[in-house]
Structure 1
């Protein structure tokens, strides 16, 4: 019997990248209010539905979450923040966009789509939908739905939002809890995959002319061996407003008492979990050892000098964020810098190639080679 040819994977047409879907929506915002009417515009629905499939997201569940009471109440609030993590579905964050940011996303969407299709483990923000909503008698609100990088069933004890200053230094951006003073030692295979994917992602950002992006990193400090963390055999408590974690020992997977100090090593990463076992996606629940470092005024070079303290077992969630801001700024100011000499320290603000180079260098310092890897290179 002749075999049927395999079906070709769906490819968006040029029309899909310019299409919109308009409809009206009625929803009760409060228990004592009548139904409010909203004009809803769904941009590039076929393209974003495919991006949802890349993320293994059911479109019906997604639609129920995004068009629900919580979202609409947030959008019409006169004192709304710039973003909202949905309480009933923390996979998604609603992010309000400016007109220029929305324009940037629409401009880069074709290349963004093909990049995520090729690199399913990309660390770029996962955009799942782009909308404009106008309540009856109100103003338009533009927003994008993006995947929640820090979504986790274990506590995120510390957060860092790290970018590159115009002088090529590591800086902590607004919204971060504190400056980064640690380096993270990963399993060698994971480090290789992570930095290789970062290189691909930075090449994309350079191609579309984006700068000023940053790395959002969430860190969970373990009080037990990694296996106990993933199997849920221990607990941690974290006091609000404090950097200290109250650590508790508990039964490990084999019924023995877990002592945090027993699972720490200073010279090698042989105890780190195999990447295949736990990390099916880069940037999600990545096991590492955190080593305190000296850093002077954000200088990248100083990150490679560890302090003499035992490392902590940590679990990391991370991804690239803020990719819609730098592009629009670039278009407005690049003509001002064309006449400047190329070694100007401010050129980072408008030069995607230089920015991506410094960003990659920064990540190589944050995730350094192990001593064993260095020795193997010298052989």
Structure 2
């Protein structure tokens, strides 16, 4: 069944274009206030969706609210996201079913019909933090086109009749790729260093990633701009989501393709966690690709974006008893050519009085303060030092053009 608006309340097409929804879904518009200005960061627009999301085929009324639609439409255009395609993907039956059948209360949901987007379910306080941050976030993303910050495409609230509201944001899927992501990590600026596999066992991370020197410099410079923004916004406890594809393309050849002037610029340990497919890291002397399909190859297509399909060498390392990371031992470690995908996520944790008290109490109990209790400036420093160690200066004796 095609969708049609209730006749008396047809909106201006620029604000609420008449988009096709899922089959067997109808919608009618809710009377809203006067049309907001083009970049009004406080505007909202509402509509009703009629949709069947259960096995019985019962139609339910859903109230749907878009926040700052014009602002997010610009943010979509920055990343060449088609607004009509986006709206159709968000307001279809499969998306509503995913949101309201989330029995495990997972905060990050992947759309099975559109892997470009991740739905981040948030609470009221996180929504408030982001709305307050949105004007400066918009200017930051507009200024630094190669920002590593999470790319936000929409903020929505949906509520079934008689049910609970679900607030969610739509972000770019950092790990979207035509290549298989063999492993991914969630890296935070912390006084400890470990990663957690799917089984929940903790083990030391035993690899670093060596990039072309110019790429590393641009990443660290952009990271500084992004962390300065988060620090000024009072944000802490954010993460670097990093995915790794292991490939067989010669590293030097991949670097020659990736070395492009079109990129724009813009000792704390770290904690890493991986909730990807369970696998053994192995010993530092072990070839990191031994557990993976080594017949795969890396694409030689040039990417213009920092953090997307970046050629690197993953190198194992050992740790001394003092838990200080040591450099790799030449001749004993087999480097692996990889493509990396990464970006800064979880940027809605605002530093509060409660966090300050938590930081003080944890400091009294242990030599290592709670990562979530560190103030924004301290966390920014830890985080940047952490990432610089994950991407160390290149010391390979190869021709790195």
Shorter-chain TM-score range: 0.7 to 0.9
| In structure 2, distance between residues paired with 1:211 and 1:297 | 30
Deviations along 1:323-359, whole A, 9 cap, x unmatched? 112x1x5343326768999998538623111111111
Deviations along 1:97-121, whole A, 9 cap, x unmatched? 1111111111211111111010111
Task: Indicate if the aligned counterparts of 2:363 and 2:369 stay in contact, CA closer than 8 A.
Answer: no
Distance verdict in 2 for CA 1:303–1:320, change over 3 Å: farther
Q: Tell me, what secondary structure is at the counterpart of 2:369?
A: helix
Aligned residue-pair number:
326
| In structure 1, distance between residues paired with 2:145 and 2:39 | 24
1:242 aligns with 2:279: yes
Aligned equivalent of 2:112, options 64, 87, 92: 87
Equivalent in the alignment of 1:104: 129
Q: Which stretches in structure 1 are left out of the alignment for 5+ residues?
A: 1-11, 232-238, 254-272, 374-379
Task: Indicate if the aligned counterparts of 1:121 and 1:282 stay in contact, CA closer than 8 A.
Answer: yes
Q: How is 1:25-36 mapped onto 2 (pairs within 5 angstroms)?
A: 25-30=49-54, 32-36=56-60
| In structure 2, distance between residues paired with 1:54 and 1:341 | 43
Aligned equivalent of 1:60, options 44, 68, 84: 84
Q: How is 1:1-379 mapped onto 2 (pairs within 5 angstroms)?
A: 16-30=40-54, 32-77=56-101, 79=103, 80-165=105-190, 168-172=191-195, 179-225=204-250, 241-243=278-280, 244-248=291-295, 278-295=302-319, 299=323, 301-302=324-325, 304-306=327-329, 308-325=332-349, 327=350, 330-334=352-356, 345-346=368-369, 349-371=373-395
| In structure 2, distance between residues paired with 1:84 and 1:298 | 39
Moved more, 111-120 or 30-39: 30-39
| In structure 1, distance between residues paired with 2:363 and 2:51 | 56
Measured after TM superposition, the shift of residue 180 of structure 1 is 2.8
| In structure 1, distance between residues paired with 2:347 and 2:321 | 25
| In structure 2, distance between residues paired with 1:249 and 1:193 | 28
Distance verdict in 2 for CA 1:123–1:221, change over 3 Å: same
Distance verdict in 2 for CA 1:309–1:340, change over 3 Å: closer
| In structure 1, distance between residues paired with 2:108 and 2:279 | 24
Distance verdict in 2 for CA 1:111–1:242, change over 3 Å: same
Distance verdict in 2 for CA 1:202–1:13, change over 3 Å: farther
Distance verdict in 2 for CA 1:303–1:199, change over 3 Å: farther
Q: Tell me, what secondary structure is at the counterpart of 1:81?
A: coil
Task: Report runs of 4+ in structure 1 exceeding 4 Å deviation.
Answer: 12-15, 173-179, 296-299, 335-345
Measured after TM superposition, the shift of residue 36 of structure 1 is 1.8
Q: TM-score, normalised by structure 2?
A: 0.72
Measured after TM superposition, the shift of residue 170 of structure 1 is 3.6
Q: Tell me, what secondary structure is at the counterpart of 2:109?
A: strand
Measured after TM superposition, the shift of residue 141 of structure 1 is 0.7
Higher percent of residues as helix: 1
